[in-house]
Structure 1
Amino acid sequence: MSDSFLAIDFGTSNSLVGAYHQGKVHGALPLDPKSADPTLMRTLLYFPNPDLCYYGSEAIEQYIEQDMEGRLFRSFKSHLPNQSYLGTVIDNRIVTLENMVGIFLLELKKRAEKHLNHQITKAVIGRPARYSMDAVADGFALHRMEKAAKMAGFEEVQFVPEPLAAAFDYRKQITSEKIVLIGDFGGGTSDFTLIRLRAEGFDNKDVLAIDGCPMAGDALDSVFMSHRLSEHFGAKSRYRLPMSSNVLTMPPAVSQKLNHPAHIVHLKERDTYEFIKEVKKCSLTVKDKDAIERLFILLEDQQIFPFFEAIEKTKRGLSASDSTEFDFDYPGLELKEQFTTAQFIDWAMNTRQKIFEGLDRCLESAGLTPDQVDLVCLTGGTAKVPFIQGELETRFGKQKLQTQAHFHSVLSGLVESASFWANGQKVT
């Protein structure tokens, strides 16, 4: 039996890999030499053509160097539970979603194997508490991940809930038994685990409840588009088809794709693209036509990635100030908008509600009230959003919160899960 296992934290925004190799723990491996933190690889794929792919920091570098031709994919993990999303077409070549995830996992595997100088066919891979609130869609997402892992060359895989993995890491900090809530707030999902942590060991019965919500950082970014910015790109453009007296508005199937970085790239697919061209021809006013022209510049000049980076910067700005300016100055797309924290809180109300419904279900499932929780450990960038943190402080008290939201806690727990597996103990 091989005693070498990879531990993979495959995230919506960033990915990390560690290993349990020949009886030794290896923390985050240096995967991306062009990244500011080489252990942190952006979950990005860039295809300049169907036969060539770049990953992580190099994907962005090459994308810019090659005049933003080809296709750049980000947040593609978020499509996993969507049964109607099969994949995409790059220059007449079909690339399924399982292919995209498999290609990325294979690259992580190759880079880790090169560092360890050893071929590895077993992996512990993190999974969100819920890919979807729908049980069928959640199971479908996991099935896709299993297929992608096989495509990447893994013969055996264990999937471990990411918040449970984070709990293993936090266990190292405690000296006496505690009931701990782990909140893992990433780009795509918000995940919760309630666990009885003991310094001396772990038993599956210590996991009191796991739950979550398929919304987090990307969903919060999308509110800036849906409530204000998307109308600059034709979301509300009106048109009248030839031989018809009916005035129509851009259909939701198109306008809703504008709001999310994982979905907007698919407006370039042939049928949708041709439809938007027709809408532009039939636009009711110059203003309607100009908005769609901006959408074409956004798509054709490959400005989607920098535009959503600017949105994320705006969101971070509102964590430090009551208002901030969104400023995008690409020719033809010049936009200045002022945003306030009050607006952000109002627009994000539905996302916030869904996130905390996941937390409430977790507490209910464990049969616990907030005052029975000894410690709240938070990880992931979205944990730093003030109204998320404020809600947790209201529920549990500021003194219980540990908010050093670092990227490596989930990975550290996945490596520990791999060591359990190596020693014959399965983590569920």
Structure 2
Amino acid sequence: MTSDSFLSIDFGTSNSLVGAFHNGQRYEALPLDPKAQDPTMMRTLLYFPHPDLCYYGTEAIEQYIEQDMEGRLFRSFKSHLPNQNYLGTVLNNRILTLESLIGVFLLELKKRAEKILDTPIEKAVIGRPARYSMDPVADGFALHRMGKAAAFAGFKEVQFVPEPLAAAFDYRRQLSSEKIVLIGDFGGGTSDFTLIKLRPEGFAKEDVLAIDGCPLAGDALDSVFMSHRLNEYFGAKSRYRLPMGSNVLTMPPAVSQRLNHPAHIVHLKEKETYEFIREVKKCSLTQKDADAVERLFILIEDQQIFPFFENIEKTKRALSASETTDFIYDYPGLEMKETFSVQQFIDWATATKEKIFSALDECLKNAGVSSQQVDLVCLTGGTAKVPFIQKELETRFGKERLQTQAHFHSVLSGLTESAGFWAQGQKVT
């Protein structure tokens, strides 16, 4: 019997969490990943040592390292959802669409939750960003794909609830009187905002004043270290001259842009692109140009993409605590040392920051609410802790109004509450 059982799924770019509303009872974050430091938080990772075997979460990393980084490790694959040109990937001769890739991960979450609750579950409330894309057509396409992925995982009925709205339901429990609250959900792939009237009890759809966001957050901040400095080590500026040609060419943006993003770089291994990069190396103008392209081959062939971007993320976090930090990578053939400063990070990230806060301004404008009228600002997600993001929020709203406990379970808790509404016959969206 499944009618009284609902899963709540916070499917994130970096981490995923699952709760449940089962037989009238709330189940907070379920311990789906016993090998993780926090068993309730499962890294959104898939590792295929070969096409017929897949590992998930912490075990994906363990097996990836244990098996000498052979096979394919997928991270940040959620970020491909609005990209209509990205259909999926090929594992040996097996075609994996993006919908089935996400569906495989959702199915594993479902199986583990069902085992803990000892019941089959066919209904789910799944979080969605305020916007997968700034393009409404691409945003709708992404949501359609998520619907197909959920169906692949075996869910018969699904409600998609905006993640910042879900976070609002969680924060509501802290209130003793009605307030206008801004929820800022800063994740790995998206920055999302909801302006809402919250009161201790009850909810009506008209309480939601505005929802907005943009598809930039933690991963976009990580990518600036690649795009402004580190990608030069991997041929982003390598020059070459084709046989019988007279023009000196530089590595095309289609390659260097993939190189900058953790979700996209794995696709440099796809046959056509890979053969093109091989040709660039053969036709390199100087030995220095060829050496840089060779480092790209080492990065891809020796499966160093994941640890390299993990090191970039550590560098980003280190700049929250000190004015400068050293980025050191000592894998044979990829040895490098660069010193980064907070000011460099701020300068490089300016365009990303402006787009994030432009979405916030749009949210305030659509709600007809000024920053002075906002009673409380509640933040969730790791990117909310980046100092220049914090500082910008303090400038707009004042430090005293910021609820800065950016804990990871707020969205999930609100999704579980949404599941409770659904169980009572009330839809949130």
Partner Cα distance (1:86, 1:200) in 2? 44
Q: Within 5 A, what are the aligned runs for 1:154-165?
A: 154-165=155-166
Q: Does 1:384 align with 2:385?
A: yes
Q: Does 1:294 align with 2:310?
A: no
| Cα RMSD after superposing both structures | 0.5
Q: CA deviation at 1:201?
A: 1.2
Q: CA deviation at 1:395?
A: 0.2
Q: Which amino acid aligns with 1:412?
A: S
Q: 4+ residue runs of structure 1 moved beyond 4 angstroms?
A: none
Partner Cα distance (1:66, 1:10) in 2? 27
Map of 2:12 onto structure 1: 11
Map of 1:206 onto structure 2: 207
Map of 2:224 onto structure 1: 223
Partner Cα distance (2:156, 2:94) in 1? 27
Q: Which amino acid aligns with 2:211?
A: I
Partner Cα distance (1:231, 1:357) in 2? 31
Map of 1:270 onto structure 2: 271
Q: Within 5 A, what are the aligned runs for 1:216-255?
A: 216-255=217-256
Partner Cα distance (2:184, 2:286) in 1? 48
Q: Within 5 A, what are the aligned runs for 1:16-95?
A: 16-95=17-96
Map of 1:330 onto structure 2: 331
Map of 1:350 onto structure 2: 351
Q: Which amino acid aligns with 2:318?
A: G
Partner Cα distance (2:90, 2:330) in 1? 30
Q: CA deviation at 1:357?
A: 0.5
Give the match's secondary structure for 2:264. Answer: helix
Q: CA deviation at 1:403?
A: 0.7
Percent sequence identity is 81
Partner Cα distance (2:210, 2:395) in 1? 21
Q: Which amino acid aligns with 1:173?
A: Q
Q: Does 1:101 align with 2:102?
A: yes
Q: CA deviation at 1:257?
A: 0.4
Q: Within 5 A, what are the aligned runs for 1:121-200?
A: 121-200=122-201
Partner Cα distance (2:247, 2:213) in 1? 44
Structure 1's unaligned 5+ residue stretches are: none
Q: CA deviation at 1:192?
A: 0.2
Deviation track 1:316-349 (CA, whole Å, cap 9, x = no partner) reads 0111111111011111101100000100010001
Q: Within 5 A, what are the aligned runs for 1:297-316?
A: 297-316=298-317
TM-score by length of 2: 0.99
Partner Cα distance (2:81, 2:7) in 1? 22
Partner Cα distance (2:337, 2:183) in 1? 38
Give the match's secondary structure for 1:296. Answer: helix
Partner Cα distance (1:335, 1:10) in 2? 35
Q: CA deviation at 1:49?
A: 0.6
Deviation track 1:111-163 (CA, whole Å, cap 9, x = no partner) reads 00000000000000000000000000000000000000000000000000000
Q: Does 1:359 align with 2:366?
A: no
Q: CA deviation at 1:93?
A: 1.2
Q: Which amino acid aligns with 1:415?
A: T
Q: CA deviation at 1:92?
A: 1.7
Q: Which amino acid aligns with 2:269?
A: K
Map of 2:426 onto structure 1: 425
Partner Cα distance (1:32, 1:86) in 2? 29
Partner Cα distance (1:92, 1:421) in 2? 42
Question: Number of residue pairs matched?
Answer: 428
Deviation track 1:12-66 (CA, whole Å, cap 9, x = no partner) reads 0000000000110000000001100000000000011111110000000000010
Partner Cα distance (1:213, 1:239) in 2? 37
Q: Which amino acid aligns with 1:53?
A: C
Q: Which amino acid aligns with 1:133?
A: M
TM-score by length of 1: 1.00
Structure 2's unaligned 5+ residue stretches are: none
Give the match's secondary structure for 1:181. Answer: strand
